[in-house]
Amino acid sequence: MNNERIPATQLARAAGLRIEKEQEQQLEYHLRDLHEHFERVRLLSMSPCDELPALDVKDSFSAFYISHADRNGLLKLFNGIHRGYISVPRML
Amino acid sequence: MTDLKSYSRISAFELVAKVQRGEVSPVQTVQLAIDAASRTKSLNAFVELNEDMALEQAVRVRKRMADGEPLMLPGVPIAVKANICVSGMTCDCASGSLSGYRAPYDATAVRLLKDAGAVVVGTTNMDEFGMGSSSGYSIHGAVCNPFDTDLCAGGSSGGSAAVVSAGVVPLALGSDTGGSVRQPAALCGIHGLMLPYGSVSRKGLVAFASSLDQIGFLSRSPQDAELISKVVAKPDPQDASMFAGDEQRDFDPPEQHVRVTKTALSDAVEKGVRDVFGQFVGKLKADGWRITVTDEPYERDALSSYYVLAMSEAFTNLARYDGLRYGIPVEGREYRERVENFRTKYFGPEVKRRIMCGAHALSEGYYDRLYAKASKVRGALRKNLVELERRHGPLLTPTSPVLPFEHRLKAQKPSRMYECDLFTVFANLCGAGSASFPAGFSGKYPVGAMVTSCAGSEFLLRSCRQLARYGCMREPAVHA
């Protein structure tokens, strides 16, 4: 991955939207503006001891995925468990 | 007390006492709230004011009182943000995509309030799906600030904040994902409280970013905030993200000791806010409080991480609005075209921007570098927040780094609007409790200060009560 942004039209399609021609320029400008936040996160160097938190149901993501378990949500849930982001024993 | 002037200044606490003593009936209090709402229409704060339903509820409360049922909030009129379900009332989240949608049931928080005798008079205006800091991204038009109607009320719970500030109701419910209760409370000169994540059931709250969303309270005194907390903060088996029993708390922060982040005293904060906040801290010092100025780790990264996480969750949560289950159906040759037509037509500009950014953050190749890293910041932030609070007490900051601003600000750079959440996102990211209270005034504009704590609801409420004594409140220009 590099610093390149995904074009607005492509993002819109992923988000189930369509961009009208006249809105494209303004939207690109706004997305470029917001992309600065994303770049800040991307370039952040975390300490090796900053692990992803093991979360339980009362926390966040596990509850989030359970309550919104559509196909993508379920995939991410299993992905999260596989990578150790979500603590299964605590979740159960 | 049956005149509008006294009603609009009374706290919920005092109102309860008067109703219980029989000085005023629940029907009268509700009628007063409806009269107050009609006198403050210029604020554009209500999405729906349902006089018939409210009076019916008030009659039922009167009967329950006559039957000797003990009620904690008998006849207290309340307003509820239009993204929290109130059975039979509009719950459109100020979005065209949910136009005309009426909630089929009560959210748990609303049910508990009704059980306690409170009466919902209406649902309030907001930023679409809670996305914004001005309450200007609404299909119903912008909410005006009661202190100056040319300025915004803050957001996204701007409608709820405006009606409490203008004396229409003593209490209102809002939702807080990154400061949406506390920031409008500060801009409207009132109190805004968000208890730690998991204290209040989210059942019936329309999801924006589920791991950050919380129902919060707007009031004109810390005592009223405590009162509503006692009623609403109860376990709910229908919300799996709630505390199973008592809150987990493993430390006691020092008393009369707060820490102030360097950023709160820097140029990142508008001069008017900085001056008032500086004076507020000065008052604390003079009264013997210990103040420690700290460098909060990941402070500037918190905002960016918050937006990565919130937008990602919003992208997933809003996927359900496809025009088939909710809203007005649109034409299209096949499913995808229908969905695109619906979402393009009925989502507002801010919602579109955020779900597109969410799509970016969750895209293949970006997920680990953005979403996962933002999650790491979140974990590190919480760890640091607890550690610092253990040594130096809870975090004290201005609630908003800016004074109430003009509606057109939102049309400029979106990132300028996001800066409004500079201090508020900490609590949501860490699952901490946080309360905003009026600290003072910069000219005619209110400035709020905010205390954020990981030490549980009881400590937060006590700190807020102690600190709010050093602030001051005024009546706004638009008042019932």
pLDDT digits 0-9 by tens, B394-414: 999 999 999 999 877 655 678
Give contacts of B378 with chain A, Cβ < 8 Å: 53
Distance (Å, rounded) from C-alpha B177 to C-alpha B130?
8
Strands B214-219 and B171-176: antiparallel
Which residues fall within 8 angstroms of residue B293, CB to CB, at 6 or more apart? Answer: B259, B260, B261, B262, B265
Closest Cβ opposite residue B240 in set A30, A61, A67: A67
Distance (Å, rounded) from C-alpha B420 to C-alpha B62?
43
- Between positions 312 and 351 of B, the ones with CB within 8 A of A are 313, 315-317, 319, 322, 336, 339-341, 343-344, 347
In A, minimum Cα distance to B348 occurs at A17
CA angle B278, B283, B286 (to 5 degrees): 120
> Residue B273: pLDDT above 70?
yes
CB B143 within 8 A of CB B137: no
Mutate to test the interface with A, among B248, B351, B356, B416 (most CBs of A within 10 A): B356
Residue found by looking up tokens 């109130």 in the block? B86
| Interchain contact B419–A (C-beta under 8 A) | no
Q: Is B363 exposed, middle or buried (0-12, 13-18, 19+ CB in 10 A)?
A: middle
Cβ count near A33 (within 10 Å):
16
Interface contacts A/B by beta carbons within 8 Å: 155
SS3 annotation, chain A: CCCCCCCHHHHHHHCCCCCCHHHHHHHHHHHHHHHHHHHHHHCCCCCCCCCCCCECCCCCHHHHHHHCCCHHHHHHHHHHHHHCCECHHHHC
pLDDT, greater one: A90 or B184: B184
Quick check: helix, strand or coil at residue B118?
Answer: coil
This complex has an ipTM of 0.84
- Between positions 18 and 37 of A, the ones with CB within 8 A of B are 18, 20, 27, 30-31, 33-34, 36-37
> Residue B367: pLDDT above 60?
yes
Give contacts of A17 with chain B, Cβ < 8 Å: 340, 343-344, 347, 352, 355-356
> Residue A90: pLDDT above 80?
no
Distance (Å, rounded) from C-alpha B52 to C-alpha B49?
9
The size of chain A, in residues, is 92
CB B106 within 8 A of CB B204: yes
Picking from B463, B394, B397, the residue whose alpha carbon sits closest to that of residue B182 is B397
> Residue B206: pLDDT above 50?
yes
Give contacts of A56 with chain B, Cβ < 8 Å: none
Mutate to test the interface with A, among B206, B239, B241, B410 (most CBs of A within 10 A): B241
Q: What is the pLDDT of residue B382?
A: 87
Q: Which amino acid is at B293?
A: V
Partner-chain contact A18 B341, CB within 8 Å:
yes
* Concatenated DSSP letters of B332-368: -SSHHHHHHHHHHHHS-HHHHHHHHHHHHHTSTTTTI
Distance (Å, rounded) from C-alpha B425 to C-alpha B307?
9
Could you give the dihedral angle defined by the CA atoms of residues B226, B228, B229 and B235, in that order, rounded to the nearest 10 degrees?
Answer: 160
CB B352 within 8 A of CB A17: yes
Distance (Å, rounded) from C-alpha B436 to C-alpha A80?
35
Shortest alpha-carbon distance between residue A36 and chain B (Å): 8
Q: Which amino acid is at B194?
A: M
Partner-chain contact A6 B360, CB within 8 Å:
yes
B293 beta partners: B260
Strands B148-152 and B144-145: antiparallel
Partner-chain contact B369 A5, CB within 8 Å:
no
What average pLDDT does this structure show over B299-305?
89
Partner-chain contact A63 B240, CB within 8 Å:
yes
| Interchain contact B384–A (C-beta under 8 A) | no
Which residues fall within 8 angstroms of residue B159, CB to CB, at 6 or more apart? Answer: B44, B45, B46, B47, B79, B81, B82, B124, B125, B126, B135, B143, B153
Q: Give B320's DSSP letter.
A: G
| Interchain contact B300–A (C-beta under 8 A) | yes
CB B36 within 8 A of CB B166: yes
Distance (Å, rounded) from C-alpha B431 to C-alpha B219?
22
Closest Cβ opposite residue A37 in set B207, B241, B304: B304
B124's enclosing H/E stretch is strand B119-124
To the query of whether residue B81 is one of the catalytic residues in this protein, the response is yes
Picking from B73, B206, B70, B67, the residue whose alpha carbon sits closest to that of residue B127 is B206
Shortest alpha-carbon distance between residue A89 and chain B (Å): 15
pLDDT tens per residue, range B82-111: 999 999 999 999 999 999 999 999 999 999
What average pLDDT does this structure show over B176-195?
98
Structure confidence at residue B247 as a pLDDT band (50, 70, 90): low
Give the dihedral sign, CA B4/B7/B8/B9. positive
pLDDT tens per residue, range A6-63: 888 889 999 999 988 877 888 888 888 888 888 888 888 766 555 554 444 344 444 4
- Between positions 36 and 55 of A, the ones with CB within 8 A of B are 36-38, 40-42, 44, 46-47, 50-53
Residue found by looking up tokens 């500060």 in the block? B186
Q: Which two tokens stand for residue B220?
A: 């004109």
Q: What is the pTM of this model?
A: 0.91
Give contacts of A46 with chain B, Cβ < 8 Å: 373, 376-377, 380
Partner-chain contact B373 A57, CB within 8 Å:
no
| Interchain contact B379–A (C-beta under 8 A) | yes
In B, minimum Cα distance to A67 occurs at B240
